[in-house]
């Protein structure tokens, strides 16, 4: 990502020059020549060093559990467990297990036509056929199910956003047309359908709740359009909360829970799997931080969070959420824009273009410093009487200071059909209205 355009974020990170002293003080036991060491001491030291190496390898392969380390270290290879000397083979086996299920996703969009095609009526767009579509971007995906002769794969919603056509490239290079089953821009997940003939490998889903910091993982996908590619690292943090801009205007209006990893994730990796050392999918690669001085900070959507969304997309093609019907601008952003010539507003329920308030903006008492300005009210909000320049400060009894807080309360605490009380200010006076939340119709998308 940027959550969008492969979810790349630009962050401001303080730079501190770290200096490491090259001089180290020697303390403790006095140094002795090896000639002074007896054969018994050397043997004891060698044995202890060997045991320590075995223990470290066993810990790495046993998931960090001391019990698993003892069991692995004392168990012969014939038992079926991976011996320390087989660490490389474990990574090979894990990647081989899932790689055939990893695909490239090609987003095709209409090619630019400098002139209208002959025969097109004035003002009418010429019809587009497959020959007019050109690859606009490439991402990744992973096949997770096969049913009734069709194979289904997970990818990121931003990978397929704006596509006029979709194609999937299998690991052997075969290209197949793909159909969008459904997508959800809030969680940045989408499901595609392709012909399942000849597809035998279905990725096994793991349990992201069991991940541990320091656990080794691999990212598989199509970085930079290079095709089937692997990168390896560790889980830096099992649960990281990062702000995202759903409307891509630079204003954060949502938060995403992700797995942080230092496995290399680049443009094109989006939608591909993050797997553990047993070849199980534990995350969907989604974004990275891209900035000078920032390395090894990538993010994946936990598979435990992704699969309920995927299941809903398989059932209905969309994720139903309660619809309030307001396009908003954070009050703090409005105040900041007064000396900066305005800016692009946030949208609570969609991406409609709305003009920011003029210098004759909302009137508020001095104690009101946080809220969201209504730029446009539609659907249920309009029917309830909300208007341009109203400033929402509460939903039910929950204080609302930003569009992010509004969305989090609305999507996390309410359901379609629930009643909601909206407290707001109009012309400096407080008011409130209660109405039912609706589902968002296609006309309002």
Residue positions annotated with a catalytic role: 158, 188, 270
β-strands 150-155, 133-147: how paired?
Answer: antiparallel
How far is residue 121 from each of residues 126, 127, 130, measured CA to CA in Å? Answer: 8, 11, 21
Q: How far apart are CA 292 and CA 295, in angstroms?
A: 8
> Phi, psi at residue 354, to the nearest 5°?
-135, 145
Q: How far apart are CA 222 and CA 279, in angstroms?
A: 18
Q: Output the DSSP codes for 316-345.
A: HSS----B--EEEEEHHHHHHHTTTT--PP
Q: Do the beta carbons of residue 80 and residue 111 sit within 8 Å?
A: no
User: What ranges in 132-202 are assigned the alpha helix state H?
Assistant: 157-160
β-strands 133-147, 102-110: how paired?
Answer: antiparallel
User: What ranges in 326-395 are assigned the alpha helix state H?
Assistant: 331-337, 379-383
Q: How far apart are CA 87 and CA 61, in angstroms?
A: 7
**Cβ burial 31-64 (10 Å sphere, 16+ → b, else e):** eeeeeeeeeeeeeeeeeeeeeeebbebbbbbbbe
Q: Output the DSSP codes for 40-90.
A: HHHHHHHHHHHHHHHHHHHHHHTTT-HHHHHHHHTS-GGGSSPPGGGHHHH
Q: How far apart are CA 301 and CA 240, in angstroms?
A: 10
Closest CA to 166 of 156, 155, 177: 177
Q: How far apart are CA 91 and CA 276, in angstroms?
A: 9
């Amino acid at each position: 990502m940027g959550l969008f355009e492969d979810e790349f974020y630009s962050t401001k990170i303080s730079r501190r020059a770290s200096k490491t002293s090259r001089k180290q003080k020697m303390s403790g036991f006095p140094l002795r020549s090896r000639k002074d060491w007896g054969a018994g001491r050397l043997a004891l030291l060698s044995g202890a060093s060997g045991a320590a190496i075995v223990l470290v390898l066993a810990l790495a392969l046993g998931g960090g559990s001391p019990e698993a380390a003892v069991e692995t270290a004392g168990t012969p290879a014939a038992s079926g467990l991976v011996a320390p000397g087989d660490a490389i083979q474990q990574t090979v086996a894990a990647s081989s297990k899932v790689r055939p299920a990893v695909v490239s996703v090609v987003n095709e969009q209409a090619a630019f036509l400098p002139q209208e095609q002959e025969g097109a009526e004035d003002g009418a767009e010429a019809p587009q056929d497959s020959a007019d579509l050109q690859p606009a971007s490439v991402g990744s995906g992973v096949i997770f199910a096969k049913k009734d002769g069709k194979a289904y794969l997970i990818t990121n919603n931003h990978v397929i956003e704006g596509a006029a056509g979709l194609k999937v490239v299998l690991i052997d290079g075969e290209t197949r047309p793909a159909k969008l089953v459904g997508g959800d821009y809030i969680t940045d997940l989408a499901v595609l359908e392709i012909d399942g003939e000849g597809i035998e490998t279905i990725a096994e889903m793991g349990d992201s709740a069991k991940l541990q910091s320091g656990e080794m993982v691999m990212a598989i996908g199509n970085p930079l359009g290079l095709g089937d590619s692997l990168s390896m690292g560790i889980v830096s943090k099992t649960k990281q909360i990062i702000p995202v801009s759903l409307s891509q205007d630079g204003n954060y209006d949502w938060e995403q829970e992700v797995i942080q990893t230092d496995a290399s994730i680049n443009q094109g990796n989006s939608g591909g799997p993050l797997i553990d050392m047993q070849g199980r999918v534990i995350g969907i690669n989604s974004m990275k931080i891209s900035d000078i001085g920032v390395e090894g900070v990538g993010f994946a959507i936990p598979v435990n969070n992704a699969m309920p969304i995927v299941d809903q997309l398989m059932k209905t093609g969309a994720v139903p959420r309660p619809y309030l019907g307001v396009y908003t601008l954070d009050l703090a952003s409005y105040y900041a824009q007064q000396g900066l010539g305005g800016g692009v507003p946030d949208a609570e329920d969609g991406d409609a273009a709305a003009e920011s308030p003029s210098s004759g903006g909302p009137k508020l008492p001095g104690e009101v410093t946080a809220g969201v300005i209504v730029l446009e009210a539609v659907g249920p909000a309009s029917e309830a009487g909300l208007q341009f320049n109203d400033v929402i400060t509460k939903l039910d009894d929950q204080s609302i200071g930003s569009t992010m807080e509004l969305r989090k309360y609305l999507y996390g605490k309410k359901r379609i059909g629930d009643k909601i009380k909206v407290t707001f200010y109009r012309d400096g006076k407080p008011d409130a209205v209660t109405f039912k939340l609706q589902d968002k119709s296609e006309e309002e998308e």
